[in-house]
Amino acid sequence: MLSDADHHPDPDAASDPRVGPGPDPEGFGARVAGTADLRRLRLFVALARDPHFGRTARREHVSQPTLSAQIKRLELELGVRLFERDGRGSRLSTAGRTLLPCAMELLDHADRFNAFAARQAESPGLRGRRAALRLQGGPR
C-alpha cells in the first residue's frame, strides 16, 4: 500500500471534476478517472520490458526521478499498483501483468493512427487544397 509520501499529489486534483471521491482500497487516495496518457503508458511498457528504473530512464531519455514520478502518477490515475518494489528492484504486479498487453495494444493502435494521419497529410489531394488555400490568403 502506498503512503502519502509515496506519491506526489496533483495540486489541481482538488478542483478536477474527474477526481473520484472517497477512500480507495488500494490506498492510492483520490483517483483521476480515465486520464492515462500515451506517454505514461509508453513508460510503463518500457519499464515492464526492463524493470530497472535507471536503465529504462536512460533509454527513454528522461531522468530516473521523472520516470518514477510518471509511473506513480499512472498508478494513481488507474488506481492500481503496476509494479512491486523492494530493495532488489521492481517487478510487474499482478495488475501490471494483466494491463500490459492492453497497454501494448493501445500504443500499437495509436502508432498506426499517427502513421495513417501522417500519410493523409502527405496525400496529393490534401497538399493541393492547402496550396489553394494559401493562394487565396487562407491558413498556412
pLDDT (tens digit per residue) in 80-130: 999 998 888 899 999 999 999 999 999 999 999 999 988 888 877 665 454
The range of the structural domain enclosing residue 87 comes to 4-135
What's the CA gap between 10 and 68, in Å, rounded?
A: 15
Q: How many domains does the chain have?
A: 1
Q: Does pTM surpass 0.75?
A: no
DSSP state of 85: E
Take residue 28 and report the three cell numbers written for it. Answer: 492510492
Residue 106: give its domain's CATH number. 1.10.10.10
**What is the per-residue pLDDT for 29?**
52
Q: Is residue 75 part of a domain?
A: yes
Helices (H), 1-123: 38-49, 53-59, 64-78, 94-121
pLDDT tens digits, residue range 15-71?
444 444 444 444 555 555 566 789 999 999 999 999 999 999 999 999 999 999 999
- Classify residue 140: in a domain, yes or no: no
